[in-house]
Chains A and B, each alone.
Chain A
Amino acid sequence: QLQLQESGPGLVNPSGTLSLTCTVSGGSIGSSHYWGWIRQPPGKGLEWIGSIYYSGDTYYNPSLKSRVTISVDTSKNRFSLNLSSVTAADTAVYYCARRAVSAAMGWFDPWGQGALVTVSS
């Protein structure tokens, strides 16, 4: 059974860079899927951040594109998120999730359990 697990610092300084890693187990990150990041501010809704293919092909939400970098490490079966110049508005639970390459099957499933990242000094 495929499982995803987020990891990284839970506290980031304002203007710093938020860095998270999602480790995939029970399957290969090199399969025909995209791997994505979605975030949820406390008490609010869900926002797609971006996705990556195992080849390194990426696409991002335009609202965050200037600050986001998603990378993949196939040797370690994991992918990572970097979000720069963070503010308190970036405080959220960050989820990683899988989606199919085919647009017609492009829902997110499964999801990781989520990692709360707080931006504060």
Chain B
Amino acid sequence: DTAVSQTPKYLVTQMGNDKSIKCEQNLGHDTMYWYKQDSKKFLKIMFSYNNKELIINETVPNRFSPKSPDKAHLNLHINSLELGDSAVYFCASSPSLAGVKDTQYFGPGTRLTVL
């Protein structure tokens, strides 16, 4: 039973295209996140959602638009892809948004390559 799942695992596309990454969690958590891991392995938060509501947007370009149809799903749509968007994107979830103790559990990651 996968706790946090993402599809696809790999995504190769041309500059200028639009693509989506899907994320689902079956942990019953209220909060979900998107992180970007760059080529130097640095992980940085992009967005967080709590019960379908956007909470944190870390100055991510408008080309990135997260959507949460329900609290178990958080999708990431990227418009007009650029070379610099190439990275590994991780989805994560945690029980709540306001607990410093709450562990975030990560999905397997989606490796996006923009050509």
Tell me whether A and B are bound partners.
no
Q: Which residues of B contact A (CB under 8 A)?
A: none
